[in-house]
Amino acid sequence: MTSVLVTGGAGYIGSHAVKALSESGLRVVVYDNLSAGHREATRFADAFVEGEIQDADTLRSAIRDHDVDAVMHFAAWLSVGDSVRDPAGYYRNNVMGALAVLDAMVAEHVPRLVFSSTAAVFGNPVETPITEEHPKQPINAYGETKLAIERALPHYGRAYGLRSVVLRYFNAAGADPDGALGEDHDPELHLIPRAVDAALGRDSFQIFGDDYDTPDGTCLRDYVHVTDLAAAHILALESLRAGGPSARYNLGNGQPTSVRDVVDAVARVVGRQVPVAIGPRRDGDPAVLFASSARIKQELGWKPRFEHIDTIVRTAWAWRDVRPAGYRTAAQAER
């Protein structure tokens, strides 16, 4: 039986995709160096290979050993702020890493790729909702590294016959509705887990700026459930397997939601107030970012199941309530 290789399958979005692949009856091999991911998060995979993304030999043997006929490439660094401080690391990991995966695919004749991209390829929006045609002008190294690979892919398509679907996530959020998987970054910088921790009295919380030109002064974002993102990966793979063309899709709910809306949703779901301090704006935060996902809905039939912000927050809270230290044990988290 052929397999799907999932790089970064021990990470947040990757692990949810692995579970969805496995539930679709596909054989899954995770390739991850566990630098940020968690071994436990890979338990729905059929095989696990611990390896570096630029290790060509290990990548190629993983592909050969498991008869891989498609790759989902998630393995990358993902913090906008860190990418401004350490662009070299981001180019090495995200550009050279992805090129190593592409090289291995070409060498081993793997013809299908689903590539994780981001809303950060657009930079400051010139119009909303953001469609696939919106100008690509990243304002940080993270967005540049993802765009560099997006731009390489059509050339790999023409020269080597490698077909790809690029998925540009807006704000991935929530956790597996069965409670089997969740978000566990160290440090955790994302809004929803931080606000949940504040509601549970575990941490302090700041809103980064309430003087934006938005209805309530806080940034508007487009939160999309991680399980809905995972489902989009399955549709993308099915389309490639059916001989469909290379494509790029934006993935969001199309619902602009402010930081205050999220804080209110957390208070409703947890049943406790979120103690909030107002801090300065965070560098590199656009005021408004939300997607048009009309194209993937129309072309691949994507239909998000967990659209409401309360539903998204409920799953995130359920995971964080039961697993305060995420995949780590409480003792590991103390260290």
Contacting residues toward ligand UFG, per CB under 6 A: 78, 80, 118-120, 142, 171, 189-191, 194, 205-208, 219, 221, 259, 282, 285, 289
Contact indicator for 157, 244 with CB cutoff of 8 Å: no
CB of 116 to ligand UFG, least distance (A): 10
Of 39 and 282, the one with the shorter C-beta distance to ligand UFG is 282
Closest chain position to ligand UFG (CB)? 219
Nearer to ligand UFG, 67 or 211 (CB): 211
Residue whose CB is less far from ligand UFG, 68 or 262: 262
Shortest spacing between CB 121 and ligand UFG, in angstroms: 9
Question: Tell me, what amino acid is at 124?
Answer: N
Q: Would you put residue 123 in left (φ > 0), alpha (ψ -120 to 50) or beta? A: left
Q: Is 212 a catalytic residue?
A: no
d(CA 195, CA 187): 14
Residue pair 230/19 in contact (Cβ under 8 Å)? The answer is: yes
Nearest CA-CA partner of 179 in 310, 302, 61, 323: 323
Distance CA 171, CA 136 (A): 18
The residue type of 28 is V
**In Å, how far from its chain's centre is CA 105?**
22
**Least Å from the CB of residue 62 to ligand UFG:** 26
The CB-of-12 to ligand UFG minimum distance in angstroms stands at: 10
Q: Which of 12, 142, 156, 169 is catalytic?
A: 142
Looking at beta carbons only, is 133 or 216 nearer to ligand UFG?
216
Q: Please state the closest distance from residue 57 (CB atom) to ligand UFG, in A.
A: 30
- The β-bridge relationship of strands 257-258 and 220-221 is antiparallel
Of the two residues 201 and 243, which places its CB atom closer to ligand UFG in the complex? 201
Q: Count CA atoms within 13 Å of residue 54 on its CB side.
A: 9
Burial classification of residue 335, based on how many CB atoms lie within 10 Å of its CB (0-12 exposed, 13-18 middle, 19 or more buried): exposed
Write out the DSSP string of 232-263: HHHHHHHHHHTTPPPEEEEE--S--EEHHHHH
Report residue 50: phi and psi, to 5°.
Answer: -90, 120
Q: Compute the least distance from the CB of residue 291 to ligand UFG, in Å.
A: 11
Cα separation, 323 vs 16, in Å, equals: 17
Residue number, 181 or 263, with CB nearest to ligand UFG: 263
What does the alpha-carbon distance between residue 316 and residue 326 come to, in Å, rounded to a whole number? 11
Least spacing, CB of residue 142 vs ligand UFG, in Å: 6
Looking at beta carbons only, is 18 or 191 nearer to ligand UFG? Answer: 191
Q: Give me the sign of the Cα torsion angle 196, 223, 71, 73.
A: negative
Q: Count the alpha carbons within 13 Å of 49 in the hemisphere toward its beta carbon.
A: 23
By annotation, the residues acting in catalysis are: 142
